[in-house]
Structure 1
Amino acid sequence: MGNDGFSEVEEVESVKYGDEQNQHLAPQGSNRSWMMALLLGTCLGMGLTVMGMSLLRPRSPSPTKAVESQPIQIAMTVTTAPVASGSVNQTLDTNGTIAARDLIPVLPQANGLQIKKIPENVKEGAFVRQGQVLAILDDSVLQAQINQARADMESDQADVQSKQADLASKQANITANQAIAQQRRADLAQAQARLEEAQKNLQRYQQLVASGAVSQQEYDTRAYTVKTLVESVRVAQENVRTAMANVASAKANIGNGVAMVNKSQAIVRSSAAKIEQLKTQLEQTIVRSPVAGIIAEKLARVGDVTGVPPQTQVGTVVGGTQKLFSIIKEGKLELQAKVPEVELAQIKIGSVVEVTSDLNRQVTLQGRVREIQPVINDTRREATVKIDLPTNDVFKVGMFARARINVDTSKGMVIPQKAIQSQADGSVIVFVLSGEDLDNDQNVEVRTVRSQKVAVAELMPGDKVAIKAGLKLGEQVVIDGAGYLKDGDHVRVVSQ
């Protein structure tokens, strides 16, 4: 299997032994022949001496014997692990901006009031509880209005009491008039009875006058009495009508009194409602956090007037009202990643995402795709993918971040992360065992290592790394000690 575009690091195993000695012996052998030609006939002792020296000179050993005779230089002892097969995630790389998942604006409930106080612990980045006081507005005007409303209500309550007393008087008057009317009816009945009796006597006297039993004078007296009693009955009837009129008038006054009492009581209720309204407005002078979360913006300043944003805060008006604060609900953040429309179909809701920042590459957060916005930007042909992030202290709203979205899972090569060695040029290498065992000792394995460039796919759980290319399944890679090796070193291998 090739290394997919990476330059191979050739195995270097060259041992040079004996070449220098061969070069050294060659000229000495020629000198010996020349001397034998010149000294032909010299003494036998000299010749035997030269021949003995020639026989005693060591012969040049072969390269193989040199390797066998000299010890192997071992760089260090290492542990290795095989390139194994494992599940590798297929990923899609993108980037975007960190944003608040739910940014809550805090608006004043009462406009036209000056901001009197902001607690010292209320600042950007601070965590606040739901209901916590964020700012206190000037309530002096409302306090004065409440005091005036209470005074007005007390006056209205006194007026109610006066009206109720007048109503009670009128109720007593109607009772008296009813008693008078009752008496007038009794007087009328009595007058009517006397008139009836006098009329009967007059009729009897009329018969007696006719028979001459009584005088005309007596009859006239009885007739006058009847006339007097008729007038008395008329007067009694008139008194009854007057008494009944007085009762009706008293009843009418009662109705009017009740109406006046009801009106005064309504005024009292209106005053009480006004006081409650002012109390509500007074409560609204205390600006509280509507949710628990992190303060993302602090726009309010002591001395500002609510509802009248400064010129520097023209863009902070929400719904016609000045925004005082912005709170990240529960501190939850999201990454709004931009994904080209041609790659959008690969992403699923709930997909796992690794999120990193260029400011701190050591920190990697695991998020999940929560939402894929349905609208695609018609200029860049990109859609926004919202990725939920866990609570952390690294990412802030507005930061740039990179995302690696898992779109599929397949089989691939996996090695321990400790085998990876980063290079100055940005490349990544591992050291692979190469060649045969160089030691005849059955208890010790000595191998040569070679450096091999690899393409890293992703980090995996358990300190594992997925490799895209550069290795073969089953190859042994150096783990412990890899950082101290160089290409071609001999190492003693210890099982992990």
Structure 2
Amino acid sequence: MGEESYSELGTEQSVKVEDADWEGKKLKRRSPWLLPLLLGTGLGVAIAFLGMGVVSNRQTPSKNAVTKSTQQVAPTMTVTVVSAEANSIARTLSTTGTVAARDLIPVLPQTNGLQIKQVLVNEGDTVKAGQLLAVLDDSLLQAQISQAKADIESRQADVASNQANLEAKKADVASFQAVVQQKRADLAQAKAKLEEAQRNYQRYQQLAKDGAISKQELETRETTLKTAKEAVRVAEENVRSAEADVSSAQANINSAQAGINSAQANVKSNAAKLQQLKTQLAQTLVRAPVAGTIAEKLARVGDVTGVPPQTQVGNVVGGTQKLFSIIREGKLELQAEVPAVQLPQVKVGAAVEITSDADKRVRLQGRVREIEPIVNDQSRKATVKIDLPPTNLLKPGMFARAAVTTNTTTGVVVPQKAILPQPDGSAIAFTLLGEDTVRAQKVELGEILNGGKVEIKTGLQTGDRVVVDGAGYLKDGDKVRVVGG
């Protein structure tokens, strides 16, 4: 700008100053305090216009120089890039639930009325099937076992005594049977004599009729006949008496045998009682019915089995106090609640990712085992049971989150490090144009994948090269030096 321009500008400014002076004179009469303010304002405006003209003329060539210099500056940022790739992406349904034992086995005392003497495990312990968990007081059972053994010995002595008596009774029977045989022989002999006496008497009767013998002699033969008859009668009575003795001896045998049977029955009864006591003695050793993890320890030293303390009334199962609870094989499940409207998306066997807000180390892979057939009529949700892998990070009763895989699709994925969150909640990635220029590309994120990758719903295509290392230091249009990808 020449001297003429500066002159015109000075004249114009002078006019403005004069106008301001005139206005100041008018206002001075009304508000004396405004005059210095307006005068200062007018001078400031004039100086500002003058300065803007000078600066404008001086900066125009400088701006061109900067632009020209920028085009010639070599890239200084070194970055690595990767190509966006196609990958299988699992669509998931997010829900929450409670960790529970898949199969919780109660351990009950097998005998009641005994005091707990020892407790050998604690909650959280891993146990094997048959492992000793607690010991009950067996002193009373030991005393009863000793008494039962004594009773058995006594009954066995009774058996031996009755067997000896039986043998004696059998000997009596044999003796009486011999007597019977003898008496029967005597009877046979008496009968023979009777027959002979009868024949003689009949013959002598005929002789007496014929007058061959005397009447006295006939009377003698009659007496002999009567004597023979009496002898037969006595012999028969002796036989009957001997047979009665045999019957009595046989009855004694039966009585002795009954005594033996009774004694043997008592022995068996006492032996059964002894076996029962021994079984109860074995039951004073409380053992784990299955292998697993101790979830509850309710047994306390000094408690009496079958008589739960007031604080454990709720732990009675089938009328018996529960001593322990075991998670069979330590298997856990997540009982997740899924709204009825989303239930058709869940399939048995579907993969599930388990996480916990309380413990970031929890990142487990489970699987849907069962979908309960009943929907809660209040919450309108159904319980989905998800098998969990073995872990020490989760306990029954804990809260956990579940991402249930509903289907699998193919999508574009890139490393999470390539994504830059923005203040407005959106996200961008820097893509490589040509070989050394980057462009900020807005992207829409999808599923977070394993291996530090993320799905890109929109904004990128398969094969696009995106900046990974160094992305956080770039801006749109920067020149870069690529060392990878």
Q: How does the TM-score come out when normalised to structure 2?
A: 0.82
Q: 1:102 to 1:59 in 2, by over 3 A?
A: closer
Q: 1:225 to 1:422 in 2, by over 3 A?
A: farther
Aligned to 1:228: 227
Looking at structure 1, the residues matched to 428 and 369 of structure 2 have their Cα atoms a distance apart, in angstroms, of 38
Q: Give CA-to-partner distance per residue, 1:377-435, whole Å, 9 cap, x none.
A: 22221111110011111111111100001112223222235545679x8968564224x
Aligned to 1:475: 464
- Say whether the 8 Å CA contact 2:431–2:441 is kept in structure 1: no
RMSD between superposed Cα atoms in Å = 2.7
Q: 1:25 to 1:335 in 2, by over 3 A?
A: closer
Q: Give CA-to-partner distance per residue, 1:258-284, whole Å, 9 cap, x none.
A: 222212211111111111111111111
Matching residue within 430, 434, 437 for 1:432: 430
Matching residue within 437, 448, 467 for 1:458: 448
- Say whether the 8 Å CA contact 2:79–2:471 is kept in structure 1: no
- Say whether the 8 Å CA contact 1:373–1:385 is kept in structure 2: yes
Equivalent positions of 1:305-324 (< 5 A) are 305-324=304-323
Looking at structure 1, the residues matched to 313 and 370 of structure 2 have their Cα atoms a distance apart, in angstroms, of 32
Aligned to 1:487: 475
Q: 1:421 to 1:255 in 2, by over 3 A?
A: farther
Q: Which amino acid aligns with 2:481?
A: R
SS in 2 for 1:368: strand
Q: Which amino acid aligns with 1:466?
A: E
Q: 1:430 to 1:123 in 2, by over 3 A?
A: farther
Aligned to 2:438: 448
Q: 1:312 to 1:427 in 2, by over 3 A?
A: farther
Matched, 1:75 2:77: yes
Q: 1:428 to 1:394 in 2, by over 3 A?
A: farther
SS in 1 for 2:360: strand
Q: 1:138 to 1:418 in 2, by over 3 A?
A: same
Aligned to 1:181: 180
Matched, 1:241 2:240: yes
Matched, 1:393 2:392: yes
SS in 2 for 1:378: coil
Aligned to 2:373: 374
Looking at structure 1, the residues matched to 204 and 56 of structure 2 have their Cα atoms a distance apart, in angstroms, of 202
Q: 1:475 to 1:285 in 2, by over 3 A?
A: same
Shift of the alpha carbon at 1:205? 2.6
Aligned to 1:15: none
Looking at structure 2, the residues matched to 287 and 313 of structure 1 have their Cα atoms a distance apart, in angstroms, of 19
Shift of the alpha carbon at 1:174? 1.2
Equivalent positions of 1:1-12 (< 5 A) are none
Q: Give CA-to-partner distance per residue, 1:115-174, whole Å, 9 cap, x none.
A: 10112xx11111000010100000101111111111111111111211222222111111
Q: 1:114 to 1:25 in 2, by over 3 A?
A: closer
Q: Give CA-to-partner distance per residue, 1:416-459, whole Å, 9 cap, x none.
A: 35545679x8968564224x44xxxxxxx323353756524131
Aligned to 2:95: 94
Q: Greater share of helix residues, 1 or 2? A: 2
SS in 2 for 1:261: helix
- Say whether the 8 Å CA contact 1:106–1:325 is kept in structure 2: yes
Looking at structure 1, the residues matched to 366 and 354 of structure 2 have their Cα atoms a distance apart, in angstroms, of 7
Looking at structure 1, the residues matched to 271 and 373 of structure 2 have their Cα atoms a distance apart, in angstroms, of 53
Looking at structure 2, the residues matched to 341 and 138 of structure 1 have their Cα atoms a distance apart, in angstroms, of 54
Q: Which amino acid aligns with 1:335?
A: L
Shift of the alpha carbon at 1:495? 4.1
- Say whether the 8 Å CA contact 1:106–1:289 is kept in structure 2: yes
SS in 2 for 1:360: coil
Looking at structure 2, the residues matched to 337 and 384 of structure 1 have their Cα atoms a distance apart, in angstroms, of 6
Q: Which amino acid aligns with 2:179?
A: I
- Say whether the 8 Å CA contact 1:456–1:467 is kept in structure 2: yes
Q: 1:199 to 1:84 in 2, by over 3 A?
A: same
Which 10-residue stretch deviates more, 210-219 or 102-111? 210-219
- Say whether the 8 Å CA contact 1:156–1:268 is kept in structure 2: yes
Aligned to 2:34: none
Q: 1:458 to 1:267 in 2, by over 3 A?
A: same
Looking at structure 2, the residues matched to 361 and 451 of structure 1 have their Cα atoms a distance apart, in angstroms, of 32
Looking at structure 2, the residues matched to 282 and 429 of structure 1 have their Cα atoms a distance apart, in angstroms, of 73
Shift of the alpha carbon at 1:313? 1.7
Looking at structure 2, the residues matched to 159 and 60 of structure 1 have their Cα atoms a distance apart, in angstroms, of 131
Where does structure 1 differ by over 4 angstroms across 4 or more consecutive aligned residues? Answer: 23-29, 58-65, 420-423, 425-430, 451-454
Looking at structure 2, the residues matched to 59 and 348 of structure 1 have their Cα atoms a distance apart, in angstroms, of 69
Could you tell me which runs of 5 or more consecutive residues in structure 2 were left unpaired when the two chains were aligned.
1-53
Q: 1:138 to 1:25 in 2, by over 3 A?
A: closer
Aligned to 2:331: 332
Q: Which amino acid aligns with 2:448?
A: E
Looking at structure 2, the residues matched to 349 and 179 of structure 1 have their Cα atoms a distance apart, in angstroms, of 91
Shift of the alpha carbon at 1:27? 5.5
- Say whether the 8 Å CA contact 1:355–1:403 is kept in structure 2: yes
- Say whether the 8 Å CA contact 2:78–2:483 is kept in structure 1: no
Aligned to 2:14: none
Looking at structure 1, the residues matched to 251 and 62 of structure 2 have their Cα atoms a distance apart, in angstroms, of 153
Equivalent positions of 1:15-414 (< 5 A) are 26=57, 65-69=68-72, 71-78=73-80, 80-119=81-120, 122-414=121-413
Q: How does the TM-score come out when normalised to structure 1?
A: 0.80
Q: 1:167 to 1:399 in 2, by over 3 A?
A: same
Looking at structure 1, the residues matched to 76 and 261 of structure 2 have their Cα atoms a distance apart, in angstroms, of 111
SS in 2 for 1:168: helix
Shift of the alpha carbon at 1:188? 0.3
Q: Give CA-to-partner distance per residue, 1:230-256, whole Å, 9 cap, x none.
A: 111110011111111111222222222
Which 10-residue stretch deviates more, 289-298 or 447-456? 447-456
Shift of the alpha carbon at 1:102? 0.6
- Say whether the 8 Å CA contact 1:317–1:323 is kept in structure 2: yes
SS in 2 for 1:391: coil
Looking at structure 1, the residues matched to 439 and 152 of structure 2 have their Cα atoms a distance apart, in angstroms, of 98
- Say whether the 8 Å CA contact 2:348–2:370 is kept in structure 1: yes
